[in-house]
């Protein structure tokens, strides 16, 4: 029988990024005891890296903005595969969530009249992103971290203990979700990174807010934390994932020097006036406006340049097309020999505005290039290329409550799926975290309060989870060679990058699945050295299992979807296919390996969009995405509309 | 530039003690010290403990000391050193060791929790906040802080004086108090607590904290000195009085 430290909470939030913190604030404000668990130190989650801003149609800079316009932009960006209810809730509630942050102490950049300033970003019709220079994520996470402190101070005043109701467990990794015999969530099992000792959280409700999966790709803007733990744990607990084939490659990552390859260059550079050029000095994006966006973007450089100052009478620059379009365009330019010396293209802001202006608007970009690449972005262009950035796919949830298909398991933020469809617009993640973090907090609170009795953790489950966690220290005698987790991770990343990356073919994906199967067999033979105290090799050995499962989900779904849409581009099926638009690919765990299960994928139809939302679009636009049969209810399709 | 073999001495051990260990390891063009630590993990010492997340100077996780100077490992370029130079990497000295380069930074989280939170102005509803850019700018400078705790590590008040930790919150959290004091809409007065509960008086403005801050925040000049001036009482000092007028407009 395994001895473990036991903790008992009404609600357990796994993840201390924007989504997790917002969820925890909500659950605690409902009076429930709440635990927040994170792999890193408190305040270091991925959200801290977000640069450009947080989208909300406050209309502070252009009063024509409204939630309906934001909704439309989000659906277009996702190529109409989005869960429309999530897109609706998100667009409607984002402004309130941003204003709320000001009451927690956030200090966004201001407009002339003292309101929150908003900036342009790809795919957003109006300036919409609340921001603080290019460190918006830091502001978000610090603000919520400080709100948590503020709630803890209230608890200290009332109960004499800062941690009476809300406690952060940092550097603690959850490896398993536990369920009672009715199939409802009963707890979460993990280890303290510092000591390697096990800890059990007994709880009726778990909110997953673990972020993304980008570490499974070699070139990525994501950190070591992004091993898809939430995705994998949820799947193993019986939840379904959707949209896993859609992975966002951000068009502008650093490409040189090699050690920083993949680090993000914010879209804010283009939002504020930076333009993409190829080795011939040409602004190539004008050649890449796809049919579905024809007429919505400027056709000449002159018009594009006028748009920055006179957006009402000019169309925006195609440099600000949705990310999938820009990333593919850069890919093509490089492939056709018009790239920069280190295999990217140029991003030029130096020739577009005075040096001082650049330093003021984009201080951390200036700093980042100066310190890491010896490039002065106020004097010379940056070299940039696509980098794996965000996963649209995630845990399938109820839009209103965030509940997954497993009772008691909720999800919010990047690890949940549906909101962004096939492609996320920049700035829509930070707002997603706030809107759905809060909703998941409420959903979990309601669920816990409705439980008649608290689900019970089975001792046998604890024992199994503990055995699985320490197995890398105890190599099995018989099977193959001892494997090094770092080597396997590298091979996995290479496989995903090369064969299931930005441009895919059936042949390559099949090869990837072959290699993944081989890596999976070797993952069992991973052996780690040393002891359990803060041992990164051991941590990686455990994370690797999750990366395996998630990579398989991505590859298998990518193979099935025989069309190109958003963050899924098939060279062998290059067109958008209307018959695929309302199809979701649902991934589930299968097979008898409990730790690294097989993944099965099924098709499922989405619920058709509500009529009033459908009518927010012109028929002529919908026709580019929908089948004719789906549009018969649109007023314009019913012949003469009275 | 081609690759070369770099000479490293890395502190290894835990709370029971440890020592510097020598390594020879490949270094490539454009790399930072954190890349080298990662290469050590992948090739020689898989269990070498280090904290990191963003690898881009944004999260403040990878703090340590390189040749005795507090630095972010991910922002310390190898080109800073001669090829034949021995580079010594040690954990932050002011905090107790967990393992290898990882230290126990809980002191900072405890101090953070003791700073009275933002106190919203009673009458304003969400969405009604109006502030001018020039008024938020000063606090925004402090909010650039990535909580790397290098300033906390370097400040001599605690660096060799563990006993001062009780009374002294360190530059990072004194700056947090200044940030709230300068917030155009914060409703609390933090002058007494800065002095009495957070030990502002211990600071003798040596500026060592400012020197190591990777965000180049002027901690001493822009946060600590103005805060000291406010605490000292503004009545008799015309310079301070003027400073205060600029310091917190319209409050
Ligand atoms: C460089 C960069 C820039 C970006 N810029 C923008 C932008 O400008 N605008 C925008 O909208 N979006 C942006 N994004 C995307 C956005 O930042 C992320 O999608 C978002 O922050 C994810 O937030 P989250 O709360 O879902 O997860 P995260 O903030 O990633 O937090 C995940 C948390 O889960 C914890 N965790 C994970 N696994 C476990 C486990 N097994 N046990 C315990 N804890 C665990 C982690 O420790 C962490 O605390 C950017 C992303 C990157 C990488
Ligand atoms: S200026 Fe003050 S806080 Fe900063 S290092 Fe010197 S004594 Fe410490
Ligand atoms: S003030 Fe500077 S040195 Fe101190 S914790 Fe913040 S970023 Fe680090
Ligand atoms: S790893 Fe984030 S600051 Fe160095």
Residue B173 gets the label, from left (phi > 0), alpha (psi -120 to 50) or beta, of: alpha
Phi-psi region of B5 (alpha: psi -120 to 50; beta: other; left: phi over 0): beta
Task: Pick left, alpha or beta for residue B45 (phi over 0 → left; psi -120 to 50 → alpha; otherwise beta).
Answer: beta
Q: Is 60 exceeded by the pLDDT of residue A56?
A: yes
Q: For position A479, what pLDDT does the model report?
A: 61
Q: Of B2, B119, B143, which to mutate for an interface test with A (greatest number of A Cβ within 10 Å)? A: B143
Q: Does A149 touch chain B (CB under 8 A)?
A: yes
The C-alpha atoms of residue A47 and residue A38 are separated, in whole angstroms, by 13
Q: Could B98 and A223 be called an inter-chain contact, meaning their C-beta atoms sit closer than 8 Å?
A: no
What span, in angstroms and rounded, lies between the C-alpha atoms of A595 and A236?
8
Catalytic pick from A70, A90, A119, A250? A250
Q: Token digits for B206?
A: 């040596």
- Two tokens at B152? 């906390």
Q: Which residue has the tokens 């000391």?
A: B65
pLDDT range class, residue A257, cuts 50, 70, 90: confident
Q: Please, which pLDDT band fits residue A478 given cuts at 50, 70 and 90?
A: low
Q: What is the pLDDT of residue B236?
A: 44
Residue B64 CA, ligand 1 centroid: distance in Å:
24
Which of A17, A255, A534, A537 to mutate: most B Cβ within 10 Å? A534
Strand-pair category, B69-72 with A54-55 = unpaired
Q: Give the angle subtended at the CA of A232 by the CAs of A227 and A236, to the nearest 5°.
A: 160
Quick one: angle between helices B225-232 and B170-182, nearest 10?
70
Please tell me the distance in Å from B44's CA to the nearest CA on chain A: 11
Bridge partners of B12?
B19
Residues with CB under 6 A from ligand 4: B 52-55, 57-62, 72, 74
Sign of CA dihedral A255, A260, A261, A266: negative
Look at residue B161 and give its three-state secondary structure. coil
Tokens of A367: 């700093």
pLDDT in tens, A326-363: 999 999 999 899 999 999 999 999 999 999 999 988 98
How far B99 CA lies from chain A's nearest CA (Å)? Answer: 7
Whether the per-residue pLDDT at A527 is higher than 60: the answer is yes
Structure tokens at A196: 């390697």
Query: Is the bond preceding residue B68 a cis peptide, omega within 30 degrees?
Result: no
Distance CA A151, CA A168 (A): 12
pLDDT of residue A637: 87
| DSSP code of residue A286 | G
Chain B interface includes A597 (CB < 8 A): no
Structure confidence at residue A530 as a pLDDT band (50, 70, 90): confident
Q: Output DSSP code: residue A642.
A: -
The pLDDT score that the predictor gives to residue A311 is 87
Of the candidates A99, A135, A531, the beta carbon closest to that of B144 is on: A135
Beta-carbon neighbour count of residue B128 at 10 Å? Answer: 12
Residues belonging to chain A: 642
pLDDT above 70 for A641: no
**Could B133 and A109 be called an inter-chain contact, meaning their C-beta atoms sit closer than 8 Å?**
yes
Residue A188 CA to its chain's centroid (Å): 23
pLDDT value of residue B239? 47
The answer for residues whose C-beta is within 8 angstroms of residue A116's C-beta and 6 or more apart is: A58, A60, A98, A99, A102, A108, A109, A110, A130
In this prediction, residue A315 carries a pLDDT of 93
**Tell me, what DSSP letter sits at residue B124?**
P
Q: Check residue A269 and give left, alpha or beta (phi > 0: left; psi -120 to 50: alpha).
A: alpha
- Which of B42, B56, B102 lies closest to A534 in CB terms? B102
Write down the H helix ranges in A128-252: 136-159, 229-236
From the DSSP assignment, how many helices (H) and strands (E) are in chain A?
17, 21
Residues 616-635 of A with CB under 8 A from B: none
- Structure tokens given for B156: 């001599």
In a 3-state reduction of DSSP, which class is residue A421? Answer: coil
Count contacts between A and B (CB, < 8 Å).
168
**Protein residue whose Cα sits closest to atom 37 of ligand 1:** A210
Q: What is the phi-psi region of residue B219: left when phi exceeds 0, alpha when psi lies from -120 to 50, beta otherwise?
A: alpha
What is the predicted pLDDT for the residue at B235?
37
Q: How far apart are the first and last CA of chain A?
A: 74
Are A188 and A174 contacting, i.e. CB atoms less than 8 angstroms apart?
yes
Question: Which residue in B211, B73, B102, B231 sits closest to B155, CA to CA?
Answer: B211
Rounded to the nearest 10 degrees, what angle do helices A136-159 and A428-450 cross at? 30
Residues 6+ apart with CB under 8 A from B245: none
Give the model's confidence band at A642: pLDDT under 50 very low, under 70 low, under 90 confident, else very high: very low
pLDDT above 70 as % of chain A: 98
Cβ atoms of A321 and A285 within 8 Å: the answer is yes
pLDDT cut 90: percent of chain A above it: 87
Angle at B179 between CA B175 and CA B180, to 5 degrees: 120
Inform me whether the C-beta atom of residue A528 falls under 8 Å from chain B C-beta atoms.
yes
N residues, chain B = 251
Q: Do residues A26 and A446 lie in contact, with contact meaning Cβ atoms separated by under 8 Å?
A: no
Across chain A, what does the average pLDDT equal? Answer: 94
Element holding A47 (H helix, E strand): none
> Would you call A250 a catalytic residue per the annotation?
yes
Please give the number of the atom of ligand 3 that sits closest to the Cα of B146.
7
A123: three-class secondary structure by DSSP: coil
Beta strands across the sheet bearing A5-8: A5-8, A198-202, A185-192, A172-179
The burial class, CB within 10 Å (0-12 / 13-18 / 19+), for A481 is exposed
Cβ pair A41:B51 closer than 8 A: yes
Using CA positions, which residue lies closest to atom 8 of ligand 2?
B155
> Locate tokens 């800065």: which residue?
B194
What local confidence, expressed as pLDDT, does residue B1 receive? 55
Degrees, nearest 5: CA angle B1-B48-A212? 85
Confidence at residue A477, expressed as pLDDT on a 0 to 100 scale: 63
**Residues B192, A503: Cα–Cα separation, whole Å:** 61
Calculate the alpha carbon distances from B136 to A51, A108, A115, A281, B129 in Å.
Answer: 19, 8, 12, 40, 12
Which two three-digit tokens encode residue B109?
Answer: 């989280």
From CA B241, how far away is CA A598, in angstroms rounded? 70
Atom of ligand 4 nearest to the CA of B53: 1
Tens digit of pLDDT at every position of chain B (251 positions): 579 999 999 999 999 999 999 999 999 988 999 999 999 998 999 899 999 999 999 999 999 999 999 999 999 999 999 999 999 999 999 999 999 999 999 999 999 999 999 999 988 999 999 999 999 999 999 999 999 999 999 999 999 899 999 999 999 999 999 999 999 999 999 999 999 999 999 999 999 999 999 999 999 999 999 999 998 874 344 444 455 545 544 44
Q: Which of residues 218-237 of A touch B (CB under 8 A)?
A: 223-225
Q: How confident is the model at residue A3 (pLDDT cuts 50, 70, 90)?
A: confident
């Amino acid at each position: 029988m395994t001895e473990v430290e036991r903790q008992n909470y009404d609600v357990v939030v796994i993840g201390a990024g924007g989504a997790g913190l917002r969820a925890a604030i909500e659950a605690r404000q409902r009076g429930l005891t709440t635990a927040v668990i994170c792999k890193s130190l408190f305040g270091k989650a991925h959200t801290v890296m977000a640069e450009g801003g947080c989208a909300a149609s406050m209309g502070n800079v252009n009063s024509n903005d409204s939630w309906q316009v934001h909704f439309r932009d989000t659906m277009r960006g996702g190529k109409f595969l989005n869960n429309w209810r999530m897109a609706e809730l998100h667009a409607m509630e984002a402004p309130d969530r941003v204003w709320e942050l000001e009451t927690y102490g956030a200090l966004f950049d201001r407009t002339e009249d003292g309101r929150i300033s908003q900036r342009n970003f790809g795919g957003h019709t109006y300036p919409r992103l609340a921001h603080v220079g290019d460190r918006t994520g830091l502001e978000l996470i610090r603000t919520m971290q400080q709100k948590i402190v503020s709630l803890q101070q209230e608890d200290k005043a009332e109960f004499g203990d800062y941690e009476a109701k809300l406690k952060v467990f940092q550097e603690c990794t959850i490896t398993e979700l536990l369920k009672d015999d009715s199939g409802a969530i009963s707890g979460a099992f993990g280890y303290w990174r510092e000591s390697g000792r096990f800890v059990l959280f007994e709880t009726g409700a778990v909110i997953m807010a673990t972020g993304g999966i980008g570490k499974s790709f070699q070139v990525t803007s994501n950190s070591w934390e992004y091993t898809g733990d939430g995705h994998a744990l949820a799947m193993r607990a019986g939840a379904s994932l959707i949209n896993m084939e859609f992975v966002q490659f951000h068009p502008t990552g650093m490409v040189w020097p090699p050690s920083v390859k993949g680090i993000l260059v914010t879209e804010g550079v283009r939002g504020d006036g930076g333009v993409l050029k190829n080795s011939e000095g040409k602004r190539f994006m004008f050649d890449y406006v796809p049919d579905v966006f024809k007429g919505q973007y400027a056709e000449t450089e002159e018009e594009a340049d006028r748009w920055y100052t006179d957006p009402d009478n000019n169309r925006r620059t195609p440099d600000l097309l949705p990310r999938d379009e820009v990333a593919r365009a850069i890919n093509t330019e490089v492939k056709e020999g018009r790239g920069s010396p280190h295999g990217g293209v140029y991003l030029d802001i130096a020739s577009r505005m005075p040096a001082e202006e650049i330093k003021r608007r984009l201080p951390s970009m200036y700093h980042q290039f100066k310190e890491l690449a010896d490039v002065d972005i106020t004097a010379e262009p940056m070299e940039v290329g696509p980098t794996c950035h965000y996963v649209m796919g995630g845990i399938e949830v109820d839009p209103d409550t965030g509940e997954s298909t497993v009772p008691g398991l909720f999800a919010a933020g990047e690890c949940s799926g549906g909101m962004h469809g096939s492609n996320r617009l920049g700035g829509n993640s930070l707002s997603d975290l706030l809107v759905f973090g809060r909703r998941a907090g409420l959903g979990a609170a309601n669920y816990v309060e409705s439980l008649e009795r608290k689900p019970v953790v089975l001792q046998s489950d604890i024992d199994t989870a503990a055995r699985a966690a320490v197995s890398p220290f105890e190599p099995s005698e018989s099977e193959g060679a001892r494997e090094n987790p770092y080597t396997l991770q590298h091979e996995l990343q290479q496989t995903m990058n090369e064969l299931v990356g930005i441009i895919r073919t059936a042949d390559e994906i099949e090869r990837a699945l072959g290699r993944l199967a081989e890596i999976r067999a070797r993952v069992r033979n991973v052996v780690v050295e040393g002891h359990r105290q803060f041992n990164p090799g051991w941590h990686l050995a455990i994370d690797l299992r999750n990366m395996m499962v998630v990579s398989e989900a991505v590859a298998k779904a990518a193979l099935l979807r025989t069309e190109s849409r958003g963050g899924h581009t098939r060279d062998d099926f290059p067109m958008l296919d209307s018959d695929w638009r309302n199809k979701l690919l649902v991934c589930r765990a299968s097979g008898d390996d409990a730790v690294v299960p097989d993944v099965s994928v099924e098709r499922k139809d989405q619920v058709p969009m509500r009529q009033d939302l459908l009518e927010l679009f012109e028929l002529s636009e919908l026709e580019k995405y929908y089948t004719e049969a789906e549009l018969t209810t649109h007023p314009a399709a019913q012949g003469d509309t009275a | 530039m081609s690759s070369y073999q770099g000479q490293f001495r890395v502190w290894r051990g835990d709370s029971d003690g440890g020592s510097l260990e020598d390594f020879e390891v490949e270094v490539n063009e454009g790399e930072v010290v954190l890349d080298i630590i990662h290469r050590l993990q992948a090739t020689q010492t898989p269990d070498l403990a280090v904290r990191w997340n963003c690898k881009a100077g944004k999260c403040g996780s990878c703090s340590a000391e390189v040749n005795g100077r507090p630095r972010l490992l991910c922002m310390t370029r190898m080109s800073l050193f001669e090829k034949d130079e021995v580079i010594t990497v040690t954990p932050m000295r002011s905090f107790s060791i967990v393992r290898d380069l990882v230290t126990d930074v809980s002191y900072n989280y405890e101090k953070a929790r003791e700073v009275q939170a933002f106190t919203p102005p009673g009458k304003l509803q969400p969405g009604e906040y109006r502030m001018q850019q020039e008024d938020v700018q000063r606090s925004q400078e402090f909010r650039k802080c990535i909580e790397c705790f290098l300033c906390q590590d370097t400040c001599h008040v605690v660096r060799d004086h563990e006993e001062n930790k009780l009374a002294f919150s360190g530059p990072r959290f004194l700056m947090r108090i200044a940030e709230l004091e300068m917030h155009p809409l914060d409703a609390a007065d933090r002058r007494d607590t800065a002095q009495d509960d957070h030990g502002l008086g211990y600071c003798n403005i040596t500026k060592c904290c400012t020197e190591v801050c990777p965000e180049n925040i002027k901690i001493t000049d822009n946060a600590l000195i103005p805060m000291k001036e406010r605490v000292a009482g503004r009545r008799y000092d015309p310079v301070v009085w003027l400073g205060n007028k600029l310091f917190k407009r319209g409050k």
